Protein backbone atom coordinates (compact mmCIF):
# COMPACT_ATOMS: atom_id res chain seq x y z
CA UNK A 1 0.00 0.00 0.00
CA UNK A 2 1.44 3.35 -0.99
CA UNK A 3 1.41 6.06 1.67
CA UNK A 4 1.69 9.74 0.91
CA UNK A 5 5.34 10.80 0.81
CA UNK A 6 6.65 12.35 4.02
CA UNK A 7 7.42 16.06 3.67
CA UNK A 8 9.45 18.51 5.72
CA UNK A 9 6.13 20.00 6.84
CA UNK A 10 4.85 16.66 8.08
CA UNK A 11 8.12 16.18 10.01
CA UNK A 12 7.56 19.55 11.76
CA UNK A 13 3.90 18.63 12.39
CA UNK A 14 5.02 15.51 14.25
CA UNK A 15 6.80 17.63 16.84
CA UNK A 16 3.66 19.73 17.29
CA UNK A 17 1.62 16.56 17.84
CA UNK A 18 4.21 15.14 20.24
CA UNK A 19 4.91 12.17 17.93
CA UNK A 20 8.45 10.78 17.77
CA UNK A 21 10.29 11.06 14.44
CA UNK A 22 12.12 7.89 13.42
CA UNK A 23 14.99 8.22 10.99
CA UNK A 24 18.02 6.25 9.86
CA UNK A 25 20.75 6.39 7.22
CA UNK A 26 20.82 4.33 4.01
CA UNK A 27 23.20 4.31 1.10
CA UNK A 28 21.82 1.89 -1.49
CA UNK A 29 18.63 0.65 -3.16
CA UNK A 30 18.06 -2.57 -1.19
CA UNK A 31 18.58 -1.14 2.31
CA UNK A 32 16.58 2.01 1.49
CA UNK A 33 13.69 -0.14 0.22
CA UNK A 34 13.64 -2.12 3.48
CA UNK A 35 13.65 1.11 5.51
CA UNK A 36 10.94 2.64 3.36
CA UNK A 37 8.79 -0.48 3.70
CA UNK A 38 9.17 -0.11 7.48
CA UNK A 39 7.56 3.34 7.20
CA UNK A 40 10.45 5.42 8.54
CA UNK A 41 9.89 9.18 8.39
CA UNK A 42 13.23 10.17 6.93
CA UNK A 43 16.25 8.52 5.31
CA UNK A 44 19.56 10.34 5.45
CA UNK A 45 22.10 9.49 2.78
CA UNK A 46 24.80 10.35 5.29
CA UNK A 47 28.39 11.18 4.53
CA UNK A 48 29.03 8.36 7.02
CA UNK A 49 28.95 6.26 3.85
CA UNK A 50 32.58 7.35 3.49
CA UNK A 51 33.36 5.01 6.40
CA UNK A 52 30.72 2.28 6.35
CA UNK A 53 30.43 1.82 2.58
CA UNK A 54 33.76 3.02 1.22
CA UNK A 55 36.09 2.08 4.09
CA UNK A 56 37.64 5.52 4.61
CA UNK A 57 38.84 6.38 8.11
CA UNK A 58 36.50 9.37 8.47
CA UNK A 59 33.82 11.30 6.56
CA UNK A 60 36.18 13.84 5.01
CA UNK A 61 37.18 11.69 2.03
CA UNK A 62 33.81 11.27 0.35
CA UNK A 63 33.21 13.37 -2.78
CA UNK A 64 30.10 15.06 -4.18
CA UNK A 65 30.01 12.56 -7.07
CA UNK A 66 30.12 9.61 -4.66
CA UNK A 67 27.33 11.14 -2.55
CA UNK A 68 25.16 11.68 -5.64
CA UNK A 69 25.83 8.12 -6.84
CA UNK A 70 24.50 6.70 -3.53
CA UNK A 71 21.62 9.18 -3.27
CA UNK A 72 20.39 8.07 -6.70
CA UNK A 73 20.45 4.44 -5.59
CA UNK A 74 18.52 5.26 -2.40
CA UNK A 75 15.86 7.28 -4.18
CA UNK A 76 15.18 4.38 -6.58
CA UNK A 77 14.15 2.28 -3.57
CA UNK A 78 12.01 4.82 -1.70
CA UNK A 79 8.42 5.86 -2.22
CA UNK A 80 7.36 7.13 1.21
CA UNK A 81 10.23 8.35 3.41
CA UNK A 82 11.68 11.85 3.05
CA UNK A 83 15.19 11.59 1.53
CA UNK A 84 17.89 13.95 2.81
CA UNK A 85 21.28 14.17 1.09
CA UNK A 86 24.22 14.95 3.34
CA UNK A 87 26.45 17.66 1.89
CA UNK A 88 30.05 16.40 2.07
CA UNK A 89 33.19 18.19 3.26
CA UNK A 90 34.17 21.20 1.08
CA UNK A 91 30.91 21.09 -0.91
CA UNK A 92 29.25 24.05 0.87
CA UNK A 93 31.82 26.03 2.84
CA UNK A 94 34.01 27.39 0.05
CA UNK A 95 31.53 29.78 -1.52
CA UNK A 96 27.79 30.34 -1.60
CA UNK A 97 27.36 29.67 -5.31
CA UNK A 98 29.06 26.28 -5.00
CA UNK A 99 26.94 25.49 -1.96
CA UNK A 100 23.68 26.18 -3.81
CA UNK A 101 24.76 24.30 -6.94
CA UNK A 102 25.93 21.29 -4.93
CA UNK A 103 22.74 21.28 -2.85
CA UNK A 104 20.80 21.43 -6.12
CA UNK A 105 22.61 18.34 -7.42
CA UNK A 106 21.17 16.28 -4.54
CA UNK A 107 17.67 17.32 -5.60
CA UNK A 108 18.04 17.36 -9.38
CA UNK A 109 20.35 14.36 -9.91
CA UNK A 110 20.03 12.42 -6.66
CA UNK A 111 16.26 12.55 -6.20
CA UNK A 112 16.52 13.84 -2.59
CA UNK A 113 13.99 16.26 -1.15
CA UNK A 114 16.34 18.11 1.21
CA UNK A 115 19.99 18.46 2.17
CA UNK A 116 21.82 18.46 5.50
CA UNK A 117 24.71 20.78 6.42
CA UNK A 118 26.96 20.70 9.48
CA UNK A 119 27.59 23.84 11.51
CA UNK A 120 26.15 26.46 13.85
CA UNK A 121 25.50 30.19 13.53
CA UNK A 122 28.44 30.60 11.13
CA UNK A 123 26.70 28.46 8.49
CA UNK A 124 23.46 30.51 8.50
CA UNK A 125 24.31 32.66 5.42
CA UNK A 126 24.88 29.41 3.48
CA UNK A 127 21.60 27.98 4.74
CA UNK A 128 19.83 31.20 3.68
CA UNK A 129 21.31 30.95 0.18
CA UNK A 130 20.29 27.29 -0.22
CA UNK A 131 16.77 27.95 1.07
CA UNK A 132 16.52 30.97 -1.26
CA UNK A 133 17.05 28.47 -4.08
CA UNK A 134 13.95 26.58 -2.82
CA UNK A 135 15.91 23.72 -1.29
CA UNK A 136 14.90 22.37 2.13
CA UNK A 137 17.72 22.20 4.70
CA UNK A 138 18.37 20.14 7.82
CA UNK A 139 20.93 21.43 10.35
CA UNK A 140 23.51 19.44 12.32
CA UNK A 141 25.27 20.66 15.49
CA UNK A 142 27.22 19.14 18.38
CA UNK A 143 29.81 16.64 17.18
CA UNK A 144 29.98 17.54 13.50
CA UNK A 145 32.29 14.86 12.08
CA UNK A 146 33.62 17.04 9.24
CA UNK A 147 35.41 18.99 12.00
CA UNK A 148 37.07 16.09 13.84
CA UNK A 149 40.58 17.42 13.36
CA UNK A 150 39.47 20.57 15.19
CA UNK A 151 37.93 18.52 18.04
CA UNK A 152 40.82 16.04 18.10
CA UNK A 153 38.58 13.01 17.46
CA UNK A 154 34.98 11.80 17.71
CA UNK A 155 34.47 13.52 21.07
CA UNK A 156 31.33 14.50 23.00
CA UNK A 157 30.59 18.23 22.59
CA UNK A 158 28.77 20.84 24.70
CA UNK A 159 30.28 19.83 28.02
CA UNK A 160 31.20 23.32 29.31
CA UNK A 161 28.99 26.34 30.10
CA UNK A 162 30.36 28.20 27.06
CA UNK A 163 29.96 25.22 24.72
CA UNK A 164 26.41 24.51 25.94
CA UNK A 165 25.47 28.20 25.52
CA UNK A 166 26.85 28.17 21.96
CA UNK A 167 24.87 25.04 21.07
CA UNK A 168 21.58 26.50 22.33
CA UNK A 169 22.15 29.82 20.52
CA UNK A 170 23.25 27.97 17.36
CA UNK A 171 20.02 25.96 17.41
CA UNK A 172 17.98 29.17 17.70
CA UNK A 173 19.86 30.75 14.80
CA UNK A 174 19.48 27.68 12.60
CA UNK A 175 15.75 27.70 13.31
CA UNK A 176 15.61 31.38 12.36
CA UNK A 177 17.54 30.65 9.15
CA UNK A 178 14.73 28.25 8.19
CA UNK A 179 16.01 24.69 8.65
CA UNK A 180 13.19 22.16 9.09
CA UNK A 181 14.99 20.12 11.77
CA UNK A 182 18.36 19.86 13.49
CA UNK A 183 20.51 16.78 14.14
CA UNK A 184 22.07 16.92 17.62
CA UNK A 185 25.08 14.63 17.70
CA UNK A 186 26.98 13.46 20.79
CA UNK A 187 26.01 16.09 23.34
CA UNK A 188 24.85 15.69 26.96
CA UNK A 189 21.15 14.77 27.14
CA UNK A 190 20.37 17.70 29.44
CA UNK A 191 21.58 20.19 26.80
CA UNK A 192 19.72 18.32 24.04
CA UNK A 193 16.56 18.52 26.18
CA UNK A 194 16.99 22.29 26.62
CA UNK A 195 17.48 22.75 22.88
CA UNK A 196 14.43 20.59 22.14
CA UNK A 197 12.33 22.71 24.50
CA UNK A 198 13.71 25.97 23.07
CA UNK A 199 13.02 25.56 19.37
CA UNK A 200 9.77 24.79 17.55
CA UNK A 201 11.35 22.62 14.84
CA UNK A 202 12.26 18.99 15.59
CA UNK A 203 15.58 17.88 17.05
CA UNK A 204 16.87 14.54 15.80
CA UNK A 205 19.33 13.01 18.25
CA UNK A 206 22.24 10.66 17.80
CA UNK A 207 24.05 10.31 21.10
CA UNK A 208 21.91 13.15 22.48
CA UNK A 209 19.63 11.28 24.88
CA UNK A 210 15.94 10.42 25.02
CA UNK A 211 14.35 13.89 25.02
CA UNK A 212 14.95 14.77 21.36
CA UNK A 213 11.93 14.86 19.06
CA UNK A 214 13.36 12.05 16.98
CA UNK A 215 16.37 9.76 16.65
CA UNK A 216 18.78 8.75 13.92
CA UNK A 217 21.35 5.96 13.74
CA UNK A 218 23.77 4.81 11.08
CA UNK A 219 22.11 1.67 9.69
CA UNK A 220 25.34 -0.34 9.42
CA UNK A 221 26.08 0.48 13.09
CA UNK A 222 22.71 -0.49 14.57
CA UNK A 223 22.56 -3.71 12.53
CA UNK A 224 26.01 -4.76 13.74
CA UNK A 225 27.54 -4.69 10.27
CA UNK A 226 30.09 -1.91 10.90
CA UNK A 227 31.85 -2.76 14.15
CA UNK A 228 35.18 -0.93 13.80
CA UNK A 229 34.25 1.09 16.89
CA UNK A 230 31.22 1.40 19.17
CA UNK A 231 30.28 4.78 20.64
CA UNK A 232 28.50 4.74 24.05
CA UNK A 233 25.13 5.72 22.55
CA UNK A 234 25.06 2.90 20.01
CA UNK A 235 22.69 0.01 20.61
CA UNK A 236 22.84 -3.06 18.36
CA UNK A 237 19.37 -4.03 17.10
CA UNK A 238 20.65 -7.08 15.29
CA UNK A 239 23.82 -8.99 14.54
CA UNK A 240 23.54 -8.88 10.79
CA UNK A 241 27.33 -8.96 10.47
CA UNK A 242 27.36 -12.40 12.16
CA UNK A 243 24.35 -13.54 10.10
CA UNK A 244 26.31 -12.63 6.94
CA UNK A 245 29.43 -14.46 8.19
CA UNK A 246 27.33 -17.56 8.97
CA UNK A 247 25.67 -17.49 5.54
CA UNK A 248 29.01 -17.05 3.76
CA UNK A 249 30.58 -19.92 5.61
CA UNK A 250 27.60 -22.24 4.95
CA UNK A 251 27.62 -21.41 1.20
CA UNK A 252 31.39 -21.98 1.02
CA UNK A 253 31.04 -25.35 2.82
CA UNK A 254 28.24 -26.53 0.49
CA UNK A 255 30.13 -25.52 -2.67
CA UNK A 256 33.26 -27.33 -1.51
CA UNK A 257 31.40 -30.51 -0.53
CA UNK A 258 29.25 -30.37 -3.72
CA UNK A 259 25.83 -30.13 -2.04
CA UNK A 260 25.13 -26.72 -3.60
CA UNK A 261 23.68 -26.35 -6.16
CA UNK A 262 21.50 -29.49 -6.13
CA UNK A 263 19.11 -30.27 -8.97
CA UNK A 264 16.29 -28.33 -7.25
CA UNK A 265 18.40 -25.18 -7.68
CA UNK A 266 19.32 -25.94 -11.32
CA UNK A 267 17.61 -25.42 -14.71
CA UNK A 268 16.28 -28.45 -16.60
CA UNK A 269 16.73 -29.15 -20.34
CA UNK A 270 13.46 -30.41 -21.86
CA UNK A 271 13.66 -34.26 -21.96
CA UNK A 272 12.54 -34.70 -25.59
CA UNK A 273 15.37 -32.52 -26.93
CA UNK A 274 18.17 -33.90 -24.81
CA UNK A 275 18.75 -36.95 -27.01
CA UNK A 276 19.48 -34.64 -29.99
CA UNK A 277 22.12 -32.82 -27.95
CA UNK A 278 23.71 -36.12 -26.88
CA UNK A 279 23.72 -37.52 -30.43
CA UNK A 280 25.35 -34.39 -31.82
CA UNK A 281 27.83 -34.23 -28.91
CA UNK A 282 28.98 -37.82 -29.43
CA UNK A 283 29.55 -37.47 -33.20
CA UNK A 284 30.78 -33.88 -33.55
CA UNK A 285 34.36 -32.69 -34.14
CA UNK A 286 34.20 -30.11 -31.34
CA UNK A 287 37.53 -28.45 -32.20
CA UNK A 288 36.49 -27.97 -35.82
CA UNK A 289 33.02 -26.66 -35.00
CA UNK A 290 34.43 -24.28 -32.39
CA UNK A 291 36.97 -22.97 -34.96
CA UNK A 292 34.13 -22.43 -37.45
CA UNK A 293 32.18 -20.45 -34.86
CA UNK A 294 35.04 -18.04 -34.15
CA UNK A 295 36.20 -17.75 -37.76
CA UNK A 296 34.77 -14.28 -38.33
CA UNK A 297 36.71 -12.98 -35.30
CA UNK A 298 40.14 -13.93 -36.64
O1 LIG B 1 26.57 11.05 8.06
C2 LIG B 1 25.73 10.65 8.87
O3 LIG B 1 25.36 9.48 8.89
C4 LIG B 1 25.19 11.62 9.81
C5 LIG B 1 24.35 11.07 10.92
C6 LIG B 1 25.19 10.41 11.92
C7 LIG B 1 23.48 12.11 11.51
O8 LIG B 1 25.45 12.77 9.70
Q: Residues 124-162: pLDDT tens digits?
A: 999 999 999 999 999 999 999 999 999 999 999 999 999
How far is CA 134 from each of CA 113, 125, 131, rounded to the nearest angstrom?
10, 15, 5
Q: Which one from 113, 136, 175, 185 is the annotated catalytic residue?
A: 185
Output the ligand 1 site: residues, CB below 6 A.
Answer: 25, 44, 46-48, 86, 183, 185, 206, 216, 218
8 A C-beta contact, residue 183 and residue 144: no
What pLDDT score does 270 carry?
82
How far is CA 9 from each of CA 41, 45, 202, rounded to the nearest angstrom?
12, 20, 11
How far is CA 288 from each of CA 27, 283, 285, rounded to the nearest angstrom?
51, 12, 5
The answer, yes or no, to whether residue 272 has pLDDT greater than 80, is: no
The answer, yes or no, to whether residue 43 has pLDDT greater than 50, is: yes
Cβ partners under 8 Å of residue 43, min gap 6: 23, 24, 25, 26, 32, 35, 36, 74, 78, 81, 82, 83, 84
The answer, yes or no, to whether residue 2 has pLDDT greater than 70, is: no
276 CA from centroid of ligand 1 (Å): 61
Distance CA 32, CA 74 (A): 5
Amino acid sequence: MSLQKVTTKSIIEKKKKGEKIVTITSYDYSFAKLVDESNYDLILVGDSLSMVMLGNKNTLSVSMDEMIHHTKAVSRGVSNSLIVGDMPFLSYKVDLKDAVLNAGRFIQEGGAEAVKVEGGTEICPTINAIIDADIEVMGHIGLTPQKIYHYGGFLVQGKSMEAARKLILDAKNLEKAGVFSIVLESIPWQIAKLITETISIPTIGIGAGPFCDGQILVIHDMLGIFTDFKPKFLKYYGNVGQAIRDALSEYKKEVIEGSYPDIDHSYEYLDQGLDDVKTWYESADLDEEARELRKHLE
